[in-house]
Structure 1
Amino acid sequence: MLTIYKYSLPFKTPFITAAGNYTERTGLLICLEESGHFFWGEAAPLPGFSTESAEDISFRLQYLKTDITSFFSGSFDLPELIKFVNTTTDAPSLQFALSYLGISLLSHRKRCNMGELFGIHSSKIVHINDVIGHMDSEKWKNAIRESIARGFSCIKLKALYPLDKLALCLGEIHRNNPHVTFRLDANRSWPKDESTQINQSIKHLPIEYIEEPFQDIDVSTLTAAQNPFDFPIALDETVQNPENLKAALKRPEQVVIIKPALLGNFCEWVGTIQTYRSSFENIVVTTVLETAIGNSAIADVAGLIGSRMRSHGLNTGKLFRNNLFLISEFENGKIDMPFLDVRKISPKYLNNEYISLLDS
């Protein structure tokens, strides 16, 4: 039996993007019940990043529900799943939802774990970083100290230009916590002609990498963009399509940030990563602010193809006022895998305040 739900989760504070400010996260959940187990896929287009919207996905799922039910009710193998997903929709978030649901179902039927279907030894531990938004200096320091107290040793911060206050704040934190490293998410806000000065202001800090500091950065211009900095530049928005991903993966030292919901058919791009970066070195997996169900899927992806040495961006559930069901906050900067067996999560356990049937 296939059931589709709409959800709307309120943020604690508005989520700010180039496309506007949002007070809630909306998306779709696809649930297939088979023999008392539940297989989930979450389609969560992210405003400002995704080419499709939650409304688009709602319309498509109403039209496609019969075909999806028919396919998953029958037997299929991995190549057939890839073909079905590609011919059913071109919306990346829906492709990811259907491919992840299909892989979960296939591994259950074959009585194996997900990694065995791809010939990958999944990691038993996934390291995670904390994430902190843009705020004033005192709030920054308090938030970072709270993260450290909860066991996080890698912290990602929104680092909008200018950086003088953030640099002073991180300098103070570093003096008292030399084991903690930082990642700076510039949101492409830094002026390119200030690169040398920016580097001077932060080069004394333990920064793992900077996420795409400029507007016009891509794989072909990366070497020139990197020159003024003493830290690696990680590619995020640039690699959220298959061709750019492939080009970035060919550079083994390049940090590549994977947002599964933006890349589409999970079964295909896992193969691309295996081909060009089989050690999974320098691959960081992050959410696009999915629910607890979607976050579990992203944790599975991180355990499968994420770097075994780097932390991954999974601690985003804390941004919601409430989630679809009660889930413990991450502690100590890591999780044991499997993180959550969603096959045991019946729809009756979900918070009805935030979900409704698609056709209701």
Structure 2
Amino acid sequence: MESPIESLMLYRAVLPYKAPLHLASGIAFSREVILLEWTVNGEKFWSEIAPLPGFSQESLTQCLVQLRTFFSKSNYHTLSALHEFSRGDTCYPSVALGCSVESFQSHSSLQSSPRPPSNVCTLLTYENHCGKGEALVSDEGLKDSAVVKMKVGMLPLKEDIARIDRICNLTSFKGSIRLDANQQWSLADIEWLSKNIDTARIQWIEEPLTVAQEYREWGTVTDLRFAYDESLYRSEQPPVFYTGLTALVLKPMLLGPHRVKALCGWAALHQCETVLSSSFESIVGMAYLYQLAENWPCSQYHGFDTLKYFTDAYSARSHMRFVTPIERLIPHA
């Protein structure tokens, strides 16, 4: 870990989406990230810092300021100093991940497209499946999917129920469904939902409730299970266990690597599943998530199906078309 960092170059990547993407935080047209090119022991590595607007606590500008401040001191240009920095309480989660040696991807490994694991959950946003018309997905498109994740909660509940029914009624799709509600529903909505869909097809609902206190009554109105997601990175406190909680959805870019480890310990103690999830990273960040999933302790399907929303984003070479240099932090100019 005492190896010196011989050089560090920062790049900005603005990756366009194929079409405007409807997220809980609003409509997004592109994804902006920082790519870091490291040289250690003569070998080049890449990592990524990609706070997600509307979800992360930090902005891309704040991340740049933190990096510049830390690397302005020449005695910090070693892997051991970098390790201590990334574990510090003041280090932003996305910066901690991008500066974690475990996330480094060798230059040579990114020359070919990194291969995702086989257990990836298919993602359906509103771009894949419109609310009022016919489904944009088909039997053919989902026939090989064991688990599908649907974005819900941005339309009236009646319309979301109709969307869920259309997926359940596809002839070839026999898998289970995860609903991602982004804290848009009330307990009364959950009770109504439970009475109007095939609950046997629903694996869980991610972050269903707007008011967290309503989880206390969850088990009195439904047999559906739920999972925590954004509440995990909006608070540094341990999660609160309620009847019905079955999983934690872990986004390393929003949580940072050390909180991910702490939450895995909490989940094991409370007999909850853990699944990894991407945050619309570039191929560099995704390569790390694929690597992390290889040794993940459970066999659940991970939420890695986000690269398909980018324009030509499946290789590092294609990404470089959207990259511009920011500055060299090591050695100083």
**Separation in structure 2 between the aligned mates of residue 227 and residue 257 of structure 1, nearest angstrom:** 24
> Is 1:4 equivalent to 2:3 in the alignment?
no
- Report what 2:218 is aligned to: 225
Q: 1:271 to 1:126 in 2, by over 3 A?
A: farther
**Separation in structure 1 between the aligned mates of residue 249 and residue 197 of structure 2, nearest angstrom:** 22
Cα contact 1:86–1:95 (8 A) shared by 2 = yes
Q: Pick from 302, 312, 326: which aligns with 1:312?
A: 302
**Separation in structure 2 between the aligned mates of residue 272 and residue 190 of structure 1, nearest angstrom:** 25
Structure with higher strand content: 2
**Separation in structure 1 between the aligned mates of residue 163 and residue 9 of structure 2, nearest angstrom:** 46
- Report what 1:283 is aligned to: 274
> Is 1:164 equivalent to 2:170 in the alignment?
no
> Per-residue displacement from partner, 1:166-225 (whole Å, max 9, x unpaired)?
13302312xx236311111112222432322211111345110011112122xx653423
Cα contact 2:10–2:326 (8 A) shared by 1 = yes
Report the alpha carbon displacement of residue 302 of structure 1 after superposing the two structures with TM. 2.8
User: Which amino acid is the alignment partner of residue 302 of structure 1?
Assistant: A
Report the alpha carbon displacement of residue 358 of structure 1 after superposing the two structures with TM. 1.2
Q: Pick from 131, 147, 150: which aligns with 1:154?
A: 147
User: Which amino acid is the alignment partner of residue 94 of structure 1?
Assistant: V
- Report what 1:111 is aligned to: none
Report the alpha carbon displacement of residue 319 of structure 1 after superposing the two structures with TM. 0.7
User: Which amino acid is the alignment partner of residue 23 of structure 1?
Assistant: F
- Report what 1:209 is aligned to: 204
Cα contact 1:125–1:303 (8 A) shared by 2 = yes
> Is 1:21 equivalent to 2:14 in the alignment?
no
Q: 1:178 to 1:2 in 2, by over 3 A?
A: closer
Cα contact 1:137–1:166 (8 A) shared by 2 = yes
> Per-residue displacement from partner, 1:215-248 (whole Å, max 9, x unpaired)?
122xx65342343222211111111257444555
- Report what 2:292 is aligned to: 301
**Separation in structure 2 between the aligned mates of residue 36 and residue 145 of structure 1, nearest angstrom:** 50
Q: Pick from 311, 324, 327: which aligns with 1:356?
A: 324
User: Which amino acid is the alignment partner of residue 200 of structure 1?
Assistant: K
Gaps of 5+ in 2: 1-6, 107-115, 329-333
User: Which amino acid is the alignment partner of residue 284 of structure 2?
Assistant: I
Q: Secondary structure at the match of 1:256?
A: strand
User: Structure 2 length normalisation: TM-score?
Assistant: 0.79
**Separation in structure 2 between the aligned mates of residue 189 and residue 225 of structure 1, nearest angstrom:** 15
Q: Secondary structure at the match of 2:321?
A: coil
Report the alpha carbon displacement of residue 252 of structure 1 after superposing the two structures with TM. 11
User: Which amino acid is the alignment partner of residue 148 of structure 1?
Assistant: L
- Report what 1:47 is aligned to: 53
Q: Secondary structure at the match of 2:221?
A: coil
Q: Pick from 227, 236, 252: which aligns with 1:260?
A: 252
Cα contact 1:7–1:355 (8 A) shared by 2 = yes
Q: 1:190 to 1:274 in 2, by over 3 A?
A: closer
Mapping for residues 108-257 of structure 1, pairs under 5 Å: 127-134=119-126, 135-136=129-130, 141-149=135-143, 151-160=144-153, 161-162=156-157, 163-173=160-170, 176-177=171-172, 179-217=174-212, 221-240=214-233, 243-245=236-238, 247=240, 254-257=246-249
**Separation in structure 1 between the aligned mates of residue 307 and residue 284 of structure 2, nearest angstrom:** 10
> Per-residue displacement from partner, 1:18-72 (whole Å, max 9, x unpaired)?
44322000011112123453322211111111111112223333333345x8545
User: Which amino acid is the alignment partner of residue 357 of structure 1?
Assistant: P
**Separation in structure 1 between the aligned mates of residue 142 and residue 82 of structure 2, nearest angstrom:** 42
- Report what 2:331 is aligned to: none
Q: Secondary structure at the match of 2:48?
A: strand
Q: 1:184 to 1:140 in 2, by over 3 A?
A: farther
Q: Secondary structure at the match of 2:320?
A: coil
Count of residue pairs brought into register by the alignment:
307
**Separation in structure 2 between the aligned mates of residue 158 and residue 230 of structure 1, nearest angstrom:** 20
Q: Secondary structure at the match of 2:150?
A: strand
**Separation in structure 1 between the aligned mates of residue 183 and residue 150 of structure 2, nearest angstrom:** 14
Cα contact 1:137–1:169 (8 A) shared by 2 = no
User: Structure 1 length normalisation: TM-score?
Assistant: 0.73
Q: 1:272 to 1:88 in 2, by over 3 A?
A: closer
- Report what 1:338 is aligned to: none
User: Which amino acid is the alignment partner of residue 125 of structure 2?
Assistant: G
Report the alpha carbon displacement of residue 104 of structure 1 after superposing the two structures with TM. 5.0
> Per-residue displacement from partner, 1:294-350 (whole Å, max 9, x unpaired)?
011122333344x52210001100011122xx44xxxxxxxxxxxxxxxxx7xxx46
**Separation in structure 2 between the aligned mates of residue 86 and residue 167 of structure 1, nearest angstrom:** 42
Gaps of 5+ in 1: 109-123, 328-344
User: Which amino acid is the alignment partner of residue 312 of structure 1?
Assistant: H
**Separation in structure 2 between the aligned mates of residue 132 and residue 139 of structure 1, nearest angstrom:** 15
Q: Secondary structure at the match of 1:156?
A: strand
**Separation in structure 1 between the aligned mates of residue 238 and residue 267 of structure 2, nearest angstrom:** 10
Cα contact 1:242–1:269 (8 A) shared by 2 = no
